[in-house]
Structure 1
Amino acid sequence: MVSNGDPAIEKSEFIQEIIRRNPSCIPERYLRSEEDKAKDVDMSALAADIPVLDLSLLSNGSKEELQKLDNACKDWGFFQVTNHGITAEVLQGTKKAAAEFFNLPIQEKTKYLFRPEFRQGYGQPFPVAEDERLDWSDSLLLFLDPSQNRCPELWPATPPEFKGAVEAYSAGVRKITEELFGCLSLIMGLEKDALLGLHEEMRTLMRMNYYPLCCRHDQVLGLNSHTDVCTITILMQDDDVTGLQIRYNGGWVPVKPLPNSLIVNVGDILEIWSNGKYKSIEHRAVTSETRERISVGLFFSPHTAVEIEPLEDILATQKCGRKYKKVKYGDYLKGAIQRRQQGKEHILKFKI
């Protein structure tokens, strides 16, 4: 059944409410076209090839692990990290807080409804054109850094552990990010503090996604294909549910989570700074008919006034010439959020 004709359901942006009203209902705007589905190529056999890096070895300057990082960013744009220093208790506490928020009654969650002027809150975060397919997921977006970008009234008061769990987790992830920036700087031939220096006023956005069950999971997408308009993203998935897929050689490879690991991916800004050496890769999320799923992504970006272009030290080591135009990060971001990302369409506008 596609729709029961209820206009309230058709207009709803909250997937949990659609399911609550009628678990067998999938409104038309969530259904993928046959043409879109026909493009899918299953490459799950390559899932075991997605790189796994040991952050403790990277931190200790292991040349072998640094080479693995370089290869991962060039060949995949994605990797998982283990031994990252965040305890299992902190990870599970964040997942639990997210799950309890999404399980609240809709009347409670809409107290934190998405506010476009702050780009934060619960609900659909991007404008969607009439002809676009909607995502089968609900989201909560909150700015963590800089502190002046926070909107305290949009931070859930329930569950009471929510703020403490997020603060503990984000503090640990920020340390990981700073460590990765140092390692990335070294393998790019820069001073170790170069990338961190380009993030003097680092922007950190958190996005919690809830992917409910779907009776026709092969007909919808939890998140449509996109790249991330940031420097790097660090993602925490449920340990036992696979939903993230990355585009590789024209197909889709599932990222099967390792217990207590984190997923890191290259964003558009790192691709531009590296003049295309490192790749911002399309990715998407699929759903399940038997298991719900939660993910927590932290997106790290420079200040909106920072000018983004291939770094001169990188250009000096390459023979291919400049591949990207110069753009202020704020302008890049503004263009990206005016319409929901589709594949790599946004970064392609800045290629020379």
Structure 2
Amino acid sequence: MGLESKKFEWTLPVPNVQELSNQQLETVPARFVRDDVCGVINTVPSDDCLPVPLIDMSKLANPEFQELELQKLHSACKDWGIFQLINHGMSDEILRNTSKEVLEFFQLPLTEKNRWKQKPGRFEGYGQILVASEEAKLDWNDMLLLTTHPIQNRELEFWPENPPKLREYLDKYSEDIKQVAINLTRFFAMGLAIEGQELCEAFQEGGFRVKMNYYPPCPQPEKVLGLKQHTDSSMFNLLLDCSITPGLQVLKDGHWYFVKPIDGAIVANLGLFAEMVSNGIYKAPLHRAVVNNSQTRISIVTACLPNSSFNVGPAKELTKAGTPPLYKTVTVDEFFSMFLQSKKLGVPVIDTLKISC
């Protein structure tokens, strides 16, 4: 399903960032220094967090409040491309215990974590992804990436058995976050006034990947990025911050702003599929992760995609009355083939999908 079904050579060995941080270095290795962020202060500010829209999913499901909340959702998708979900249906226990198990995994000795490290030509496991060459700039993070759905696509050799309950809680977490995605897809379609049944059904057997990110302190946070700026190749990415340390930044009106963590909330970020289905009404925003010199940040990010044969492109309801489609229609598998090709060419995949007027 998508990238995880592709075999490629880009998982080159890279330095372990957590171990570098533990060495108390005064300067970061050259491969992490990014000229485009030098001079930018990335330390956590006290009052520079962006109050992104807050969407209450319980109101979306309640006929009494639904119309107003749908208007808020539509505005959030149109004007921001990112919002925070509350009352999403996931229990505090699942969120808390999953966060705890993920933290315990990253606290294991490196030799133990490496039992589940990535292998050449494989997408999943512990390490970093899509490192194409020895000269490629690296992000200041370590991560564990796993496919959770479809269940038959799980590569359990990369699912840690230590801590002992990590698999159990990841399984529960992934089932619950999948339901959040399906519900959100239904409301997404309602906000656009398009038929949503086929889209929701495509997520029942859709592809879901969970990426657990570990951002340790950095001696020169103004020279690195925890995760370089990008748009997501998904319908939504759903993020759980496992601490109160801000690190996610979104680009809005030419400025980078922090997204302040809210206890128990899920950050929903629109991906390129949402931009394509909405025929450009909604935008997949540029976002990145930054680090600081004193605090560790951990996040759990779920990429949510429809099934591999689903046709991704402008909804037919949005291309009537003389409004032309702005994007090609492709299957999910075709999209990711184009994504890998565009990655090698250094061209944004969305540019290859735009239809010239």
TM-score in terms of structure 2 length: 0.88
Partner SS state of residue 299, structure 2: strand
Residue 153 (structure 1) aligned to one of 137, 150, 157: 157
2:343 maps to 1:333 = no
Superposition deviation, residue 253 in structure 1: 1.2
Alignment of 1:40-59 (within 5 A): 47-59=49-61
Q: Does the 8 Å contact 2:312/2:330 carry over to 1?
A: yes
Shift of 1:46: 7.3
Is the aligned partner of 1:183 residue 2:183? Answer: no
Residue of structure 2 in register with 1:345 after alignment: 348
The more displaced of 124-133 and 302-311 is 124-133
Q: 2:88 aligns with which of 84, 87, 92?
A: 84
The answer (yes or no) to whether the contact 2:37–2:222 under 8 Å persists in 1 is: no
**Aligned partners of 1:229 and 1:331: how far apart in 2?**
12
For the 8 Å contact 2:103–2:298, the answer to whether it is kept is yes
The CA distance in 2 between the partners of 1:158 and 1:130, in whole Å, is: 31
Would the alpha carbon gap of residues 218 and 40 (structure 1) be closer, same or farther in structure 2, given more than 3 Å must change?
A: closer
CA distance in structure 2 between the partners assigned to 1:180 and 1:221 by the alignment: 30
Q: Distance in 2 between matches of 1:27 and 1:331?
A: 37
Matched, 1:305 2:309: yes
* Residue identity in the other structure for 1:229: S
Query: 2:324 corresponds to which residue?
Result: 321
Aligned partner of 1:220 in structure 2 is 224
CA 116–233 in structure 1, closer or farther in 2 if over 3 Å, else same: farther
Give structure 2 stretches of 5+ with no counterpart: 1-12
Residues 157-214 of structure 1: CA deviation (Å, up to 9, x unaligned):
0000101111221222112111111111111212342321333521000000000000
SS of the counterpart of 1:97? helix
**Aligned equivalent of 1:137, options 141, 154, 157:** 141
> CA offset at residue 41 of structure 1?
11
Deviations 1:210-261 (A, max 9, x none): 0000011111100000111011111001341100001111111110011111
Mapped to 1, the partners of 2:182 and 2:30 lie a distance apart of 43
Letter in 2 for 1:190: I
Work out the CA distance in 2 between the residues paired with 1:342 and 1:47.
35
For residues 96-155 of structure 1, what are the alpha-carbon distances to aligned partners after superposition, in whole Å with 9 as ceiling and x for unaligned? Answer: 111111111111111111135542101111133455421000010000000121011111
Report the number of matched residues: 339
Q: What letter corresponds to residue 329 of structure 1 in structure 2?
A: V
Range that drifts further, 191-200 or 119-128: 191-200
TM-aligned CA distance change 1:173 to 1:258, over 3 Å: same
Q: Is the 8 A contact 1:199 1:302 kept in 2?
A: yes
Q: Which is further off, 163-172 or 269-278?
A: 163-172
8 A contact 1:19–1:25 mirrored in 2? no
Q: TM-score, normalised by structure 1?
A: 0.89
**Which residue in the other structure is 1:27 paired with?**
29
The corresponding residue for 2:20 is 18
| Alignment counterpart, residue 265 of structure 2, candidates 261, 286, 295 | 261
Secondary structure at the counterpart of residue 265 of structure 1: strand
Identity of aligned residues (%): 33
CA RMSD of aligned residues (A): 2.5
Task: Give unpaired runs (5+ residues) of structure 1.
Answer: 1-10
Judge conservation of contact 1:245–1:253 (CA < 8 Å) in 2.
Answer: yes
Q: Give the number of the structure with larger relative contact order, counting CA–CA contacts within 8 Å between residues 6 or more apart.
A: 2
Aligned 8 A contact 2:146 2:159 in 1: yes
